[in-house]
Amino acid sequence: MLRFLSRLRNLSFLLKEKNNDKNSNFKAQQLTADLNKNIKLFRQVLGDSSDVIIRQFKLARGGTSAALIFLDGLVDKKQINDHILRPLMVHSQTSFFGTLKKLKDSFIFIDDISELKDFGKIVSAVLEGKAVLLVDGSASALVIDVKGWEQRAIEEPDTEGGVRGPREGFTENIRTNIALLRRIIRDPALTFYHLRLGNKTKKDISIAYIKGVVRDSLIAEVKFRLNKIETDAVLESGYIEQLIDDNPFSPFPTIANSEKPDKVAAKLLEGRAAILVDGTPFVLTVPMLFIESFQHPEDYYVHPYFGTFMRWVRYISFALSILSPAYFVALSSFDHELIPTPLLISMAAAREGTPFPAVLEALLMIIVFEILREASIRMPRSFRAGGKYRRRPGDRTGGCICRSNRACYGDRYLPYCCRHFYCASSDRCRYNFALCSAFWSRSVRPVWCDHHTA
């Protein structure tokens, strides 16, 4: 087994290296004045992917050859057709005059445009969703920002509900998220510091803070930590969270995250810094104090009496959820005299016939809760939508606790969550195991039971 694993590791190592070989040397390449050579270069680097589009055309009705390179799906085609191709093909002058400046200045109706020579930078611009214009006779390229792709609309976040307050939540697009914050805090002091992380993913990251409110050393520290990150992939803000965490071994978070712009704005106004990561609606805020787990912007939207009350409810329920299993064990295994007699009797009645100690019961209960929680999150939506399956696990446990005052229901309710667990794959496993056990008992039992039956 160990050998197999180590072999696997070697293999993956090889794979990685191969990949690196193919891609790492393109940065050394240079553009030339020959358009065909340049196109070949791009073909070489970007490969045969079907989404790479290289549109070759002539400037000004049959003039100089040119090519527009972009990735299908990442660009806004309407802009390319109307504001790049049309003016270049129809209106521009016939002859090419050595530099791209004239084209840039007079014929391309796009706001964000730059002239680049560095081939590596140009390739990553293409991968970002920009279009690259190559013109025959020029060793540099025009990089035109025509990004535009399908994205989720601003929706109410699922993870953070609320009764009162704005409904909008962050999306996967960092530009939208920045705009959402800007719309709340209309102050020139609100600053976004941009950087990119991940050798392969090259995620856009933005540190947001309000100058004059935030402590400078905090921003310096955040920048320092982020810049020190050396990683291939940043898929979600969780990667960053774990890479810059103060104390990786501690179970307590030191970095908060939120999907709600109003919450992040509130924290910015308190002098914290936010880290926005492209591709996830979860925005990080630093530093985080433990007490923040109990706070919610809604506390400030409602009447102070009620807000304070709700906060105390949270403190109390925190203490309850942390301590009650322990108290249950302590009372039912040691301090029976502390339980009121009627409760003691019903607890004793519930324990009748349970072979396990209360500690085990409590642990089993906690584990079953975790399983149910995990199952209900991970279960495919199509299973949940029916209503019948969806309601079952929670209902059964809740009802069970109320009805019998007992903690031990793992025996009865494990099958339930197993039923909901994942779908086909676990089902198949279950059948296999069931069949195995059936065979095993059929074949083994007669041997054991010989003297009983005879």
Partner 1 sequence: MRLFPTTEKKNKKLCLLLMSLLIIVVLFSGCWDWMELNDITIISGIGLDETEEQGKIRLTVQVIRPAALSGGGGDTGGTKGGGGLGGDETQAVRLLTTTGETVFQAIRNLGTQASHRLFLSHTHVVVISREAAEKGIYRFIDFFARDTEPRPNIRVLIAEREAGEIMRHASGVESIPALGLYRAVQTAALNALAPDITLQDAKIRLASETTELVAPLTKLYVEEGIDGEKKTRVDVAGTAVFRGDKMVGTLNKKETRGLHWILDKVKTGIIVIEHAGGKQSLEIVKAESKITPEIRDNELVVKIKLDVNTILGDQQCVKILTEPDEIALLEEKQTAEIRTEITGAIKKAQELKADIFGFGDEFHRKYPEQWKKLEQHWVELFPGIKIELEIKSDIKGTGAIREPVYRLR
Of the pair 185, 330, the CB lying nearest partner 1 is at 330
344 is a contact residue toward partner 1 (CB under 8 A): yes
Stretch near partner 1 under the rule CB under 8 A, chosen from 11-19, 92-100, 171-179, 339-347:
339-347
Site for partner 1 in 229-288 (CB under 8 A): 247, 249-250
Q: Does 334 bind partner 1 (CB under 8 A)?
A: yes
Indicate the residue among 358 and 375 with the shorter CB distance to partner 1: 358
- Annotate each residue in 372-411 with x if it binds partner 1 (CB under 8 A) or - if it does not, as one string: --------------------------------x-------
Closer residue to partner 1 (CB): 53 or 350: 350
Which CB, 342 or 386, lies closer to partner 1? Answer: 342
For position 333 contacting partner 1 by CB under 8 A, the verdict is yes
Spatial separation of the C-alpha atoms in residues 379 and 165, rounded to whole Å: 30
Q: Is 357 in the site for partner 1 (CB under 8 A)?
A: yes
Point out which span in 52-60, 148-156, 216-224, 331-339 binds partner 1 (CB under 8 A). 331-339
Name which of residues 13 to 32 contact partner 1 (CB under 8 A): none
3-state secondary structure the chain: CHHHHHHHHHHHHHHHHHHHHHHHHHHHCECCCCHHHHHHHHHHHHCCCCCEEEEEEECCCCCCEEEEEEECCCECHHHHHHHHHHHHHHHCCCCCCCCCHHHHHHCCCCCCEEEECEHHHHHHHHHHCCEEEEECCCCCEEEECCECCCCCCCCCCCCCCCCCCCCCCCCCCHHHHHHHHHHHCCCCCEEEEEEEECCCCCEEEEEEEECCCCCHHHHHHHHHHHHHCCCCCCCCHHHHHHHHCCCCCCCCCCCEEECCHHHHHHHHHCCCEEEEECCCCCEEEECCCHHHHHCCCHHHHCCHHHHHHHHHHHHHHHHHHHHHHHHHHHHHHCCHHHCCHHHHHHHHHHHCCCCCCHHHHHHHHHHHHHHHHHHHHHCCHHHHCCCHHHHHHHHHHHHHHHHHCCCCCHHHHHHHHHHHCCCHHHHHHHHHHHHHHHHHHHHHHHHHHHHHHC
The residue among 85 and 255 lying less far from partner 1, judged by its C-beta, is: 255
* The amino acid at 87: P
Which span sits near partner 1 by CB under 8 A: 226-234, 287-295, 309-317, 351-359? 351-359
| Minimum distance from residue 335 beta carbon to partner 1 (Å) | 9
- Least Å distance between CB 407 and partner 1? 11
List the x/- string, 58-97, binding to partner 1 by CB under 8 A.
----------------------------------------
Q: Which is nearer to partner 1, 310 or 339 (CB)?
A: 339
Q: How far is the CB of 190 from partner 1 (least distance, A)?
A: 34
Residue 343 lies near partner 1 (rule: CB under 8 A): no
Binds partner 1 by CB under 8 A, chosen from 64, 177, 332, 397: 332
- Name which of 158 and 337 has its Cβ closer to partner 1: 337
The contact set with partner 1 (CB under 8 A) reads 247, 249-250, 332-334, 336-337, 341, 344-354, 357-358, 404
